[in-house]
């Protein structure tokens, strides 16, 4: 079983640059102990269950108590029958790109 | 304080028509007691906190135990300083459309 | 063939209330002639092809030239073999909720 | 000016594993000449304008003519006043994480 989530938390009504807020959220992700990676468009985390990843996203949002309004986007790949693994998913696609070139 | 979430839960690897799965998720939403409305592209729910709405989305996904793989999309508007209210948000935009016509 | 899109366009770095910007985008949607409906979390449009709906979303974003930074979320249901129709999709789920109650 | 998009295109009604379809979409991205990177949850592309990136996403979806139904998720960061650059965005957050540790 594996729940992988791509998410972003963006303050609305604050400055145009939001990286200092994103950094505070990523620090909470780091503390969670889950596997994570930072991309230019959001953070990807992986946990055993959906509840695990939603809990960390909730903690990340609650870290930004100084923001009155947050826009949160989440995309989740929830697989009950196997562990996905971040590296495996990318490798599985890259190998197949060679086949279709 | 108000957390409003637009979400959709789509089984991957099942039939092209997913409405019977969506219906089972919406039934869980109904049972949650939260405010909700069904749109052609997903369900919108509103709760007091982010944790409230994430809990219901988790319950909806866990309802589909017979689906090995789920793709879950969530967009959340989280406001700490006020109650949003589904009707108010739509009215607030519609009134302003008249102003810009 | 039918492409149905749920989308939202949110200015970053502007005020906390964004309804006046959303109203200007919805006015562009109105002018496009596509089927549309406004929800508390975003606008839903339906066109014949994916290109149709992406064109309208692009026009909506380009309407907000006074916004330096926009966060755009789009979720699309693209069906090559049939017309979806906004009403049909909601009805199809609501009928099935009765079956699972 | 820079439009950065995180997107995923998932066939509905096909197999549980979708990597062979993702590979065909990524090949179209490669051919587009835009900057791109593959993540475990989707592909990130960057272009000069919103129209540029939406065009490539459209081409990716139209590559999958053998799929009757596609679920497409797109998140876009559109900045009119500067070039974002994928590397810069990640570096800007990572530097700030050190400050908040």
Q: Which of residues 6-65 of C touch D (CB under 8 A)?
A: 50-51, 54, 57-58, 61-62, 65
| Residue of B13, B19, B70 for testing the chain D interface, max D β-carbons within 10 Å | B13
The C-alpha of B16 sits at a distance from chain D's nearest C-alpha, in angstroms, of 4
Domain spans of chain B? 2-100
Measure the CA–CA gap between C38 and D17, rounded to whole angstroms.
Answer: 34
Which strands, in side-by-side order, build the sheet including C42-47? C35-39, C42-47, C2-11, C69-79, D69-79, D2-12, D42-47, D35-39
pLDDT for position B59: 98
Question: Which residue in B has a C-alpha nearest to residue C92's C-alpha?
Answer: B19
- State which CATH number among 3.40.50.300, 3.30.70.60, 3.30.590.10, 3.30.70.930 fits the domain covering D2-100: 3.30.70.930
Contacts A–C by Cβ distance under 8 A = 24
Q: What is the mean pLDDT of chain C?
A: 96
CB spacing of D14 vs B13 below 8 angstroms: yes
Q: Which of C22, C27, C39 sits opposite B39 (nearest CB)?
A: C39
- Tens of pLDDT, residues C76-94: 999 999 888 899 999 999 9
CB spacing of D97 vs A23 below 8 angstroms: yes
ipTM tops 0.95? yes
Yes or no: say if D37 and D93 are a contact pair by the CB < 8 Å rule. Answer: no
Average pLDDT over residues D48-71: 98
- Only one residue has tokens 């939403």, namely B29
Burial track B13-25 (b if 16+ CB lie within 10 A, e otherwise): bbeeebbbbbbbb
pLDDT for position D83: 85
CB spacing of C89 vs B40 below 8 angstroms: yes
pLDDT for position B48: 96
Roughly how many angstroms between the first and final C-alpha of chain A, as a whole number?
32
- Tens of pLDDT, residues C26-68: 999 999 999 999 999 999 999 999 999 999 999 999 999 999 9
Q: What is the mean pLDDT of chain B?
A: 96
Q: Is the pLDDT of residue B4 over 90?
A: yes
Q: Is the pLDDT of residue B37 over 90?
A: yes
């Amino acid at each position: 079983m594996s729940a992988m989530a791509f998410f972003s938390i963006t303050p609305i009504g604050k400055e145009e640059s939001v990286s200092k807020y994103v950094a505070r959220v990523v620090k909470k992700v780091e503390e969670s102990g889950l596997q994570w990676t930072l991309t230019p468009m959001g953070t990807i985390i992986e946990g055993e269950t959906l509840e695990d990843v939603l809990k960390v996203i909730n903690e990340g949002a609650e870290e930004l108590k100084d923001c009155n309004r947050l826009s949160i986007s989440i995309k989740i790949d929830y697989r009950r029958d196997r562990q996905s693994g971040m590296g495996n998913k990318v490798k599985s696609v890259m190998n197949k790109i060679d086949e279709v070139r």
